[in-house]
Amino acid sequence: MRIESPREFERLGALRVYGLQKVYELDAGPETPENASDRDVVRVVPTEALHAIESEMAIVVPVRNERLKLIEGVLVGIPHNCLVIVVSNSPREPIDKFYLEEEAISNYARFTQKKILVVHQKDPHIAAAFAEAGYTDILGSDELVRNGKAEGMIMGSLLAKLMGRKYVGFVDSDNYFPGAVNEYVKEYAAGFHINGGDFSMVRISWHSKPKVVENSLYFAKWGRSSRQTNQVLNRLLGHHSGFETEIVKTGNAGEHALSVDLAMAIDYATGYAVETFHYVHMLEKYGGLLEGGESANDMHRLVKISQIESRNPHLHEVKGDEHVDDMIAASLSTIYHSRLCPESLRAEIEDELNRRNYLKDGEQLAPMRIYKSLDRMDFDVFTDRAAPALKVVGEKSKKPATV
């Protein structure tokens, strides 16, 4: 891949947010050119380097009631060396949709020898493993993992660690273009290659999202929700750095990847807020701005966020109304309720939500549910309890399967 070096970054404490990087070539050849240097304005990441990182990466595919053809297309796009972790929350009654998914995925894995772990979000063994390892927040009143994409992502990240991967990335299962999925994963790998380190995150900004407007295709760049979220996040950063900035372009980036160490260290918000909260929380945790925040030790390591602009148009299943106002409110709520949010920005958020008629006079923006980081649970206990229930299809089973 041929990709622009980040031209600028904002630094707060241990956190570095790099500017958006453009992709110039999806495939720049197998080897590093002889005259290449780390200081080049446009960098070559050779195919070999991408493959090496892909072998250390797990890709989590959250599924809830998607069409099998779409899920298969997504699997087709994921590079072979990645371990795929499908976390499904599809209904098992009256028709066992999960069974159909498992069957289709196993078949696919047989043809491709791709390593795929398929789990159900409501798997009682995994729920029991969470309980015994002391991470009960994620369990609902029925003692199973709660519904939600964020909960599926948290579960997937933990399984990526259990399977020994160094990086974990996410791609939605309702993407229409295998080529786009393939590109996202290559960009995750390129991001880690360029801005490596143990605490690193890569976020994708879609180049465009095709829509039909007046009977012809229109390639929209920014949705209302991303525009709003990015603006408020930039205000937050600017407030603390003292310099106005436009660095954040990926406040709502569903397509993202991070090192497993970082995935274990950060807190998570639920629902639409999960991606925005990454920024808010990492700023709280690593920005060096809060009294009694992280210890000096944590401040020493550099935590990096890379943002890469993908080239394929993004097209996913349309599921009716997009609830733009709910998305905006959820994202802004994580900023509003942060200890880092200054009064002036709080007032602006309130004004914005009033303007959208989202908040009535005197109403307060509800806080989102937050899950504390996974590194406070007993990982060995989780592994002992959960591992026997896991079966990777596409490779000869090393562990006995109990389900």
CB 234 within 8 A of CB 180: no
User: 138 by DSSP, 3-state: which?
Assistant: coil
Partner whose binding site includes residue 149, from Co ion, ligand GDP, none (CB under 5 to 8 Å by kind): ligand GDP
Partner whose binding site includes residue 87, from Co ion, ligand GDP, none (CB under 5 to 8 Å by kind): ligand GDP
The alpha helices in 78-177, defined as continuous H runs, are 97-112, 124-132, 149-162
- Positions touching ligand GDP (CB under 6 A) are 62-64, 66, 87-89, 121, 147-149, 152, 172-174, 316, 319
Q: The tokens 């159909």 sit on which residue?
A: 100
> What end-to-end distance do the CA atoms of the chain give, in Å?
41
Q: For residue 316, state whether it binds Co ion (rule: CB under 5 A).
A: yes
Q: How many residues bind Co ion (CB under 5 A)?
A: 2
| Phi, psi angles (nearest 5°) of residue 315 | -140, 120
The residue within the footprint of Co ion, chosen from 102, 174, 187, 284 (CB under 5 A), is: 174
CB 23 within 8 A of CB 46: no
Q: How far is the CB of 173 from Co ion (least distance, A)?
A: 8
Q: Which stretch binds Co ion (CB under 5 A): 18-26, 82-90, 312-320, 338-346?
A: 312-320
Q: Nearer Cβ to ligand GDP, position 223 or 238?
A: 223
Q: Which stretch binds Co ion (CB under 5 A): 144-152, 174-182, 347-355, 383-391?
A: 174-182
Q: Which stretch binds Co ion (CB under 5 A): 86-94, 270-278, 289-297, 316-324?
A: 316-324
CA distance 116 to 53: 17
Q: How far is the CB of 67 from ligand GDP (least distance, A)?
A: 10
Q: How far is the CB of 73 from ligand GDP (least distance, A)?
A: 12
Q: How far is the CB of 360 from Co ion (least distance, A)?
A: 30
CA distance 178 to 204: 16
User: 146 by DSSP, 3-state: which?
Assistant: coil
Residues facing 197 on adjacent strands: none
CB 247 within 8 A of CB 203: no
State the CB neighbour count (10 A cutoff) for residue 238: 17
Q: How far is the CB of 35 from ligand GDP (least distance, A)?
A: 42
Residues of this chain that interact with Co ion (CB under 5 A) are 174, 316
